[in-house]
Structure 1
Amino acid sequence: MSDIFENLKEAILDGDEDLVVEYVQQVIDEKIDPVAAIQNGLIKGIEELGARWKAGEAFLPDVMMGADALKTGLEMLDPIVAESGATGGEAKGKIVIGQVAGDIHDIGKNIVGALMTAAGYKVYDIGIDQPAESFLAKAEEVGAQIIAAGALLTTTMAAQKAIVDYLKTKNLREKYKVMIGGGPTSQAFANEIGADAWAETADEAVALCDKLVTK
């Protein structure tokens, strides 16, 4: 079984969407644990690709292709995870995740969303370049507890503050936990804008969700 995980990882590293589809279909057909396939195959691949990019061994187009392949794999596996109760039956909680207005970088968001799903949360991904209104509308629609907003540009960090401020204007600030993340963000910035949590890595984001939901 480790072979299929290794194959998935390599397909992500190669940015080969067709191969990802082929291997994910194999996971589905052979009833292999979908959460394990996400964590040990798809996520391992994108994490290694990210490390290569940081080290200058991979280029942005490589990362983008890997991210697209990851997204395709997750879209195939997410319904299986939900249906099989691989997340442990009832979801731990509901999370609305997205990139803030002006931000179109979704690799980090996709990784965080994948890990949250694998950890047992029901994740509603509203995509990129989303205003505060969209985060709240989705959270209200699905009954989410957490709003997770990513910003990968210094110029879009203000849109994270806008979400917190918008919740206040609607008298809904206490209803939702707001988590922020992204390259230029920090704990100091989270404190400054009044967010509930800041995560530097996808793993940290999941651990913080566990804390926020049990509060």
Structure 2
Amino acid sequence: METGSTKQRILEEALGLFSLKGFDAVSVEQIAAAVGIKAPSLYKHYKSKQAIFDAIFVQMQHRYDAQAAAMELHLSNAGCDGEQFAGIAAADLTRRVQALVRFSLHDEFVSRFRRLMTLEQFRTPELAALYTQRYVTRILSYHEELFRGLIARGELRGADPRAMAWQYVSPVLVLLSICDRQPEWEDAAMKELEAHVRQFQAVYEGGK
């Protein structure tokens, strides 16, 4: 098996084990066995279990960034996205939100990473902080900046874009967490997302 393929298999098998047992409960030997190699061979690719986790995190970020780019979203600079969200119809916005949630649920690598972080938030303070930053703070900050820009353009009415961001993001995160626990909720969650988007727009759009 070529090196690149082995490196990727190590990440995938490690993430699968981490997402089931937690980071601390999995040994390098267990990861190597799942890949079908010996531990010394694994160390040729990654110097430690922490290095494996770090590589998993980088790949997860790349997957999210690629999906965002495909949807023409700039998660690190919401100011670039004001134009495409100005005057967007509720149906189009709903499709965007649903697409992101479906990606989060069905990309196996991303889904397993989120499961891992859900487990580790109660065990490891550093990973708890990373979980909050990745799945709450980053998303809130993006929407706060986006809403501030849309308010300035007269597309939305509202005085507190941070509060608006909380109101918009929270139901999405709750529905995503429910679907993680109970996948059979997905169809219902999509309908709830549509109702949420329409309600949010009805409350805030039309500041001109």
TM-score by length of 1: 0.31
Which structure would you say has the larger RCO, counting Cα contacts within 8 Å and 6 or more residues apart? 2
Normalized per residue, which structure has more strand? Answer: 1
